[in-house]
């Protein structure tokens, strides 16, 4: 129980909220950051990315530099023929020296350098390279986690990536670093089941593209074995905006059967969430490589169908399009097994984080996770959480101020409880990693009562 504390004066709410949000450790529930056990950049095939060259060649900045430097000067093929250091020099010159680094991705680099105690005004990268060259990667992770106030980093582990699959099979105790938690990522299984079936056969699972024989049992065996091998905390899938369940498209019927007969039964038995990241359009400009993807508005019917038909399952959901955010919140009011999380990818900008967080608080109370970093380079944890915390604190301060103006007394203890739920405990409770004595937050009710019915004509909200 939260110890009672005196109510706060209206004028002191903003500063109190800012301090509490800054002090609250966060469990980063979705990143693409790896522990050093997966190999360290710049080692060949090292999956842990860190340091100035990785920070600057992040695909957000690659896309931005192509808006600045004309194709006639540096065509795509010439950029990709450069070494990583040459690409970083190119990006630093054109986005940080010749121009003001005002975009969110550029500002993130500036914030990160400053928080590390480095001067962001250098005209070349050599001072940064010298500094990072003096660091140890594992110790640097500790430094970043301390600055960002992150208590655990959740990896994304793509089982259908040949290199990563090989590491899991041949390197003992790959997930033995307590700073990191693993997630089983299974996109190919749902996006292209015939291709996934062929891979699984090569791995020794008797899986057929036409679902004949013991295919479903073998898919279940595959899921269970890899969840156990990784000690995965949830299973994740990134899905396109045209994802539907059930589907009417013949070439995607395989996904329906995998979801209905294998994936969700396995997860229900384990009481484990399925994280669905919906709305990415892959490769709209292939010349940009990793920077080639964009967002698309999705039909949320697939999600509501799943939540209704599989009420024993838990669904973690984030959606990429701004246009989907309100409907997602409304859906979460109707289904207790739907957990909304984060401002993903192109939504990870302060103006959109503020808008989305404000709406979620108004519709869902404190029963969601407002953010995850989605970091690919460990250094990014610094700026993504620094920027997000400030926006989250601003929105919360406004909401507590509204309560005080309405005649309600707000205490520091209440704020600490709410912030702990939002930044850590709601998620840890969902995955079963929180002390059972910790009380669950109360689900929000609509004015006049919300029955939770899926029939909106029966609701008063």
Distance CA 156, CA 237 (A): 10
Is residue 348 within 8 Å of 374, Cβ to Cβ? yes
Is residue 448 within 8 Å of 50, Cβ to Cβ? no
For 74, phi and psi rounded to 5 degrees? -135, 90
Domain regions of the chain by residue span? 10-37+149-434, 52-132
* DSSP strands (E only) in 351-435: none
Q: Which pLDDT value is given to residue 2? A: 52
Q: Which pLDDT value is given to residue 365? A: 98
Low-confidence ranges of the chain (pLDDT < 70): 1-3, 248-253, 435-461
Nearest C-alpha neighbor of 193 from the set 173, 171, 219: 219
Residue 407, Cβ density class (10 Å: 0-12 exposed, 13-18 middle, ≥19 buried)? exposed
Nearest C-alpha neighbor of 266 from the set 369, 162, 186: 186
Q: Please tell me if the domain spanning 10-37+149-434 has the same topology as the one spanning 52-132.
A: no
If you write DSSP's letter for every residue of 201-232 in order, what string do you get? HHTT----TT--TTHHHHHHHHHHHHHHHHT-
For the domain made up of 52-132, the CATH class stated in words is: mainly alpha
Nearest C-alpha neighbor of 200 from the set 226, 175, 163: 226
Residue 35, Cβ density class (10 Å: 0-12 exposed, 13-18 middle, ≥19 buried)? buried
Is residue 397 within 8 Å of 389, Cβ to Cβ? no
Q: Considering the domain 10-37+149-434 in this protein, what is its CATH number?
A: 3.20.20.140
Distance CA 284, CA 29 (A): 28
Q: Which pLDDT value is given to residue 227? A: 98
* Predicted model pTM: 0.92
**Tokens at residue 429, please?**
């409770």
Between the alpha carbon of residue 440 and those of residues 25, 331, 341, 395, 417, the distances in Å are 18, 20, 17, 22, 11
Between the alpha carbon of residue 95 and those of residues 49, 61, 99, 123, 184, the distances in Å are 21, 8, 5, 11, 36
Nearest C-alpha neighbor of 369 from the set 299, 441, 292, 313: 441
Q: Which pLDDT value is given to residue 459? A: 37
Q: Which pLDDT value is given to residue 445? A: 36
């Amino acid at each position: 129980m939260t110890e009672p504390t005196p109510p706060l004066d209206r004028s002191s709410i903003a500063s109190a909220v800012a301090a509490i949000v800054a002090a609250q450790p966060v469990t980063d529930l979705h990143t693409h950051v790896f522990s050093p056990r997966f190999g360290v950049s710049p080692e060949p095939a090292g999956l842990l990315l860190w340091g100035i060259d990785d920070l600057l060649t992040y695909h957000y900045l690659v896309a931005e530099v192509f808006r600045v430097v004309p194709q006639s000067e540096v065509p795509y093929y010439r950029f990709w023929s450069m070494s990583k250091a040459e690409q970083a020099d190119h990006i630093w010159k054109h986005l940080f020296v010749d121009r003001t680094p005002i975009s969110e991705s550029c500002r993130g680099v500036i914030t990160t350098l400053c928080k590390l105690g480095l001067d962001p005004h250098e005209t070349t990268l050599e001072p940064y390279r010298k500094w990072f060259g003096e660091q140890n990667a594992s110790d640097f992770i500790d430094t970043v986690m301390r600055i960002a106030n992150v208590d655990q980093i959740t990896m994304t582990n793509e089982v259908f990536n040949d290199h990563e699959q090989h590491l899991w099979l041949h390197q003992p105790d790959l997930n033995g670093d307590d700073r990191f938690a693993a997630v089983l990522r299974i996109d190919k299984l749902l996006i292209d089941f015939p291709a996934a079936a062929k891979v699984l056969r090569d791995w020794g699972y008797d899986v057929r593209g036409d679902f004949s024989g013991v295919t479903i049992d073998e898919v279940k065996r595959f899921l269970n074995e890899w969840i156990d091998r990784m000690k995965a905390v949830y299973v994740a899938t990134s899905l396109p905006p045209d994802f539907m369940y059930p589907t009417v498209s013949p070439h995607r019927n395989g996904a329906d059967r995998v979801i209905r007969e294998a994936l969700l039964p396995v997860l229900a038995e384990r009481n484990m969430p399925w994280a669905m990241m919906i709305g990415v359009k892959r490769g709209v400009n292939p010349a940009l490589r990793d920077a080639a993807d964009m967002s698309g508005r999705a039909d949320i019917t697939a999600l509501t169908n799943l939540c209704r038909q599989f009420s024993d399952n838990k669904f973690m959901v984030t959606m990429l399009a701004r246009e989907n955010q309100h409907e997602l919140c409304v859906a979460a009011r109707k289904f207790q097994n739907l957990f909304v999380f984060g401002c993903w990818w192109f939504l990870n900008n302060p103006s959109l984080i503020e808008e989305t967080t404000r709406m979620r608080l108004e519709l869902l109370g404190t029963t969601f996770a407002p953010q995850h970093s989605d970091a690919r380079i460990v250094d990014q944890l610094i700026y993504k959480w620094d920027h997000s915390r400030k926006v989250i604190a601003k929105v919360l301060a406004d909401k507590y101020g509204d309560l005080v103006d309405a005649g309600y007394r707000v205490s520091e203890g209440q704020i600490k409880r709410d912030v702990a739920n939002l930044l850590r405990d709601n998620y840890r409770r969902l995955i079963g990693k929180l002390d059972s004595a910790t009380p669950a937050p109360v689900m929000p009710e609509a004015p006049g009562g919300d029955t939770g019915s899926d029939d909106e004509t029966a609701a008063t909200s």
